[in-house]
Structure 1
């Protein structure tokens, strides 16, 4: 009886938690209700119908619904593209109805309505539900409380405004144009996450800001946890291994023994919608590939169809996503050459993924502007390098400067920085497990996951990017490392109660020690002087070396005991490595503090109010011009990340912020001085000729901010002022 109650009770608990945090973030109740209905009827139901019609029921309801929801997200992208291209966006809510005819076919209906053959069991189900609830609370404390709904006069992380502009653009065009600089034409960026959020807004009727800042991310992060658990359950056959993987994927930081040194992984950070969204689609693709590489004989057509759907959706969700999967397929192919299984399948999969990657880079990948090659470039982001060498690293040299020749520090800096990287992304070290663990060595699925863990380190250590986008390669692989660690522990524990008790005791002891260390140790250590900094690094390297020696001694002892018929010590060693992941998520929840300002900024409030007026009064397809481009500085080389008109206002702009335009990265600033001069002249030296020239470029409205620069008094006589709030005024061209 208990195992039947756990799924609905935990589902209700996760749903109530999500609703509670949304309500606590001042989200309107009607929008919450519409979002719940949208997720169930607009994503989960049609996706599950299609996935089950193609592949039949999975082993558990968790797998069915998680894979169905991920499939629904992929299909929604196709529906959005078709409806938007036909200018039928307002009817997008009806696309799930198109999947209902599948229920009319008797054989298909039987597959869709069949009951799963297994259940997760009460304890695994409760553990997985708690992991999902923790993930929701972390998003609330680490993101939602920091960014109030407008109008609030609060500062937003600039990229949020940029992404919100793309969401608005996705409500009116496919492919997306560049709303922050409409003259640049088609946007080159992986915008599928923005299309999903736009679809959510159009299907529910909720405002884009409400969906973007509050509602879209909660079901997505829960889905990441569930799909990671499904992957681990699928490869191991043990529900508790799936629940363990669900806990492993949640924390952003695993080892709190070295405060001030290790960075947060940010693999599920809502500040990067494309990263979070792409993780779901990549998990769907990899779970399907696992079934393909394990199959004997000809692969099932339905499984190939789901793989194709997932690959297409992943291709435009993040430029780093498919290359990571391609690396996993490559390693699996090398293993297949030795194991003599499914070689042609892996060759075909690799070719298809490579072609899709190339097409995506040409049309929707983007995000590579300003990328180059520099060995160890990523290490320059870590605090020891910034504090000891320089806060402004030279990313143009073949090798990062100062790693081994910094006076007073020497080569210990390079060793420490590499260790910091490996420990920060320690879940990816699971990629080495199949080389040593016999139970996994003959399974192509293990080698697929191994490649997914190890391949990201190549671009991570080789690519140089001003915005450190090479980190996204390792971010995207963390769910696969979590699943592989859990699978390894599951094989080590097996069905032995002795080994299970030893593993549980290790998790408990190390977990408690980690929690105590996280609470007791200071959050930031800043030694003063090169000698003190070098001493800190030597201490850190020494501590890691001691831990490595202890683990090695345990492994040697475990091998000796195994030969004597006692194999309980091997899972102890494995559990000791990843045990901190079980508690650092909860500890992180307690240590998070809101960064939201307590008072409203008058200038930002003026922008918010102007944006609200623009969204309510300016037609959706109209183009605006503004003199407000820069967060700081002036001219064509300023910090041009001001995007409140396209973001909060939701309208296209002739030239707003240009920081993320490909040409800006290549030219170290805006690359069209003639357009910039014309745009500025419309505000500083307006006359009939200048205003006529901007009108010829499609502009119908001007947004002037006297705080951004001088505005000619003549503008009021040549146009019609329709709105003013503080320093911000909106003019309509006559």
Structure 2
């Protein structure tokens, strides 16, 4: 209730209307939690605890909602989507199933684990408010929005119109090829509650799903370990979104739970549902239940279209689990079957709902060039045309220490994924296929991260997708090391606290220091960091060596102490996020942006939902005929919510940065504004265009346009014309 109260206060502080908030709460309970819990119980029975029962039920509700949305929208009954949860209530009419559906969990997590997990959820809500809700005002406004938010908002509006989705930012490109399931969920929320899509995207949907990710991470850890406090620890470990900071004057943000990527957050919840179900399957000693298999298949289908990197990460874990199954001689055919089905789903999803590759290619260590100190030491515009990033190995005056430092930063930033090595050394995990499944996800996610280059550095999403699983595996490992010993528990808690304090002091000291300006100072900073990490590793290895040498009763506290040294700073970096600035902050109110927002509001109110518009505004900067164009201008399809013949094209499959692939269509589109004769306007009208949106700040607009069309709106540099 405390978490719910904080979430309500956060929503009200974000200027959400009370009626919209009440409708959202009813939607979450009646539209997701209730039907999802009923169906999950029907397939798998009541879960041991209320935490697991409700968290898995909510995640199942997300899967069912996608299916209901697709069914209702395909027959143009999406406005009646609010009625779909009523269909699940029919399950209660079956006398055989009624007992399973109405059963109550029999196990309790206990007061302190529940309080600790609730505190973690509350922290997640507060981090979301400070890093997202408070930074992006509701439209219309004069603030700038992170471009991806407007891209997703355009897809949300499109999801209220059709299935499969067309490409609202470029109707000429037909059916959208992108991982849009998160947008379908937000659209379903808007359709069922009647709340404006922008309010749902910018305020209402994100907090429940982020809290669900924390809960599912806790459920995964508790399920594997059998200890509720381990689940609460995992809930805390998954939250930190600020990584280890060592370069003076910078803050390294970790975006594995960033609201700026709705697909990443949504896929995390669905992937966790899948991993929890698969863990139960690979652990089965007898014949797996049909309901569990059905649940795994449904979760895999939903995960496949939520993020193109999500299912491949799970498949990496399945592959490692299969090798372990061969060694352990257990469930080999089952794990092989899971891998085959998963690979088939991945292959089937890629050409349909897994686009957004945007010019990805094989390129070693490209991801390392994103880190701030690489941009300061080497170049702000990295050259990735060579097999390895230029100057990464032989930076003048610095040498290969730069590569070593970068790899160290990756390992420190993603220390949660280092849990992938634990089953190799920890006997209690080594014989458990669920441990190899989760460890495999952590380890194999580094392969595409280091081997793929994406213009927007989307290779990071492979690591982001494995962070919740790595958090659960670390917590499980610590739970096995501590066991029921109070001595080991005190040792782990002490090392957690000491490392938390030390890392906080180090972060404050480093952050306040000015960034090194000359090459000598930069080189010294890199060497100092490398030596510090070496000392850090030496401390951990010393504790492990001492634990092995001093194998006597009373000395077994050294192992949990070593684990606390490794992951202890994470518990503090979660709190850092409350006071640290974030990237992508919107600028202060701008008259030009306010004109765009007001025009979008007029379009949303006055242009029919299915009409197509044309615009001369395509690029955030540059021009649409050369490689200088950053084609992420999406305010008409996003804020206005209408389809556009050709708006921004940056996220079309195979497109990265530069000119549009169909130069003839681009020329015709621009001619409608610069040479609006009868032939040109007739040609764009033949392509379905009914409205023109002209922005004189984006390019020249002929004064004759008003004579051959009906000018219906004007604000600043933006005018809207209706074709006759």
Normalising by the smaller structure, the TM-score range is over 0.9
Moved more, 217-226 or 496-505: 496-505
Is residue 95 from structure 1 mapped to residue 84 from structure 2 by the alignment? Answer: yes
Give the corresponding residue for 1:26. 15
Moved more, 553-562 or 256-265: 256-265
- How far did residue 668 of structure 1 move? 3.9
Give the corresponding residue for 1:721. 711
Pair 1:360–1:437, CA change in 2 (3 A) = same
Give the corresponding residue for 1:691. 681
Give the corresponding residue for 2:480. 491
SS of residue paired to 2:471: helix
- How far did residue 716 of structure 1 move? 1.0
Is residue 662 from structure 1 mapped to residue 690 from structure 2 by the alignment? Answer: no
- How far did residue 594 of structure 1 move? 9.4
Is residue 127 from structure 1 mapped to residue 116 from structure 2 by the alignment? Answer: yes
For 1:390 and 1:599, locate their aligned partners in 2 and report how far apart those are by CA, in whole Å.
Answer: 29
Pair 1:597–1:464, CA change in 2 (3 A) = closer
Is residue 502 from structure 1 mapped to residue 491 from structure 2 by the alignment? Answer: yes
For 2:630 and 2:349, locate their aligned partners in 1 and report how far apart those are by CA, in whole Å.
Answer: 29
Pair 1:663–1:465, CA change in 2 (3 A) = closer
- How far did residue 662 of structure 1 move? 2.7
For 1:698 and 1:733, locate their aligned partners in 2 and report how far apart those are by CA, in whole Å.
Answer: 11
Matches within 5 A, 1:626-665: 626-637=615-626, 638-665=629-656
Give the corresponding residue for 1:398. 387
- Which one of 641, 653, 668 corresponds to residue 678 of structure 1? 668
For 2:166 and 2:584, locate their aligned partners in 1 and report how far apart those are by CA, in whole Å.
Answer: 33
Matches within 5 A, 1:360-379: 360-379=349-368
- How far did residue 592 of structure 1 move? 3.7
For 1:580 and 1:25, locate their aligned partners in 2 and report how far apart those are by CA, in whole Å.
Answer: 31
- How far did residue 598 of structure 1 move? 7.5
- How far did residue 259 of structure 1 move? 5.1
Give the corresponding residue for 1:278. 267
- How far did residue 515 of structure 1 move? 3.0
Q: Deviations over 1:71-121 (max 9, x none)?
A: 000110011001000000100011111111111122311111111121111
For 2:578 and 2:270, locate their aligned partners in 1 and report how far apart those are by CA, in whole Å.
Answer: 27
For 1:498 and 1:213, locate their aligned partners in 2 and report how far apart those are by CA, in whole Å.
Answer: 47
Contact 2:3-2:122 at 8 Å conserved across structures: yes
- How far did residue 228 of structure 1 move? 0.1
- How far did residue 144 of structure 1 move? 1.2
- How far did residue 377 of structure 1 move? 1.0
Pair 1:159–1:533, CA change in 2 (3 A) = same
Matches within 5 A, 1:443-454: 443-454=432-443
- Which one of 15, 32, 55 corresponds to residue 66 of structure 1? 55
For 2:677 and 2:534, locate their aligned partners in 1 and report how far apart those are by CA, in whole Å.
Answer: 71
- How far did residue 517 of structure 1 move? 3.3
Contact 2:695-2:717 at 8 Å conserved across structures: yes
Contact 2:305-2:349 at 8 Å conserved across structures: yes
- Which one of 560, 566, 570 corresponds to residue 581 of structure 1? 570
Pair 1:636–1:715, CA change in 2 (3 A) = same
For 1:611 and 1:653, locate their aligned partners in 2 and report how far apart those are by CA, in whole Å.
Answer: 13
Contact 2:245-2:511 at 8 Å conserved across structures: no
For 1:685 and 1:255, locate their aligned partners in 2 and report how far apart those are by CA, in whole Å.
Answer: 55
For 2:593 and 2:75, locate their aligned partners in 1 and report how far apart those are by CA, in whole Å.
Answer: 37
- How far did residue 587 of structure 1 move? 2.3
Pair 1:286–1:358, CA change in 2 (3 A) = same
Moved more, 242-251 or 571-580: 571-580
Give the corresponding residue for 2:30. 41
Give the corresponding residue for 2:523. 534
For 1:112 and 1:620, locate their aligned partners in 2 and report how far apart those are by CA, in whole Å.
Answer: 41
- How far did residue 600 of structure 1 move? 2.1
- Please, what TM-score do these two structures have when normalized by structure 2? 0.98
Q: Deviations over 1:146-196 (max 9, x none)?
A: 110011111011111111001100000111110011000011100000100
**How well do the aligned residues superpose, as a CA RMSD in angstroms?**
1.5
Matches within 5 A, 1:243-642: 243-256=232-245, 263-522=252-511, 525-563=514-552, 566-592=555-581, 599-637=588-626, 638-642=629-633
For 1:356 and 1:663, locate their aligned partners in 2 and report how far apart those are by CA, in whole Å.
Answer: 21
- Please, what TM-score do these two structures have when normalized by structure 1? 0.96
Pair 1:138–1:310, CA change in 2 (3 A) = same
For 1:131 and 1:156, locate their aligned partners in 2 and report how far apart those are by CA, in whole Å.
Answer: 28
- How far did residue 524 of structure 1 move? 6.4
Give the corresponding residue for 1:6. none
For 2:364 and 2:696, locate their aligned partners in 1 and report how far apart those are by CA, in whole Å.
Answer: 45
Structure 1 gap ranges (5+): 1-11
For 2:353 and 2:283, locate their aligned partners in 1 and report how far apart those are by CA, in whole Å.
Answer: 32
For 1:79 and 1:288, locate their aligned partners in 2 and report how far apart those are by CA, in whole Å.
Answer: 22
For 1:186 and 1:297, locate their aligned partners in 2 and report how far apart those are by CA, in whole Å.
Answer: 44
- How far did residue 258 of structure 1 move? 5.6
For 2:513 and 2:381, locate their aligned partners in 1 and report how far apart those are by CA, in whole Å.
Answer: 21
- Which one of 139, 143, 162 corresponds to residue 151 of structure 2? 162
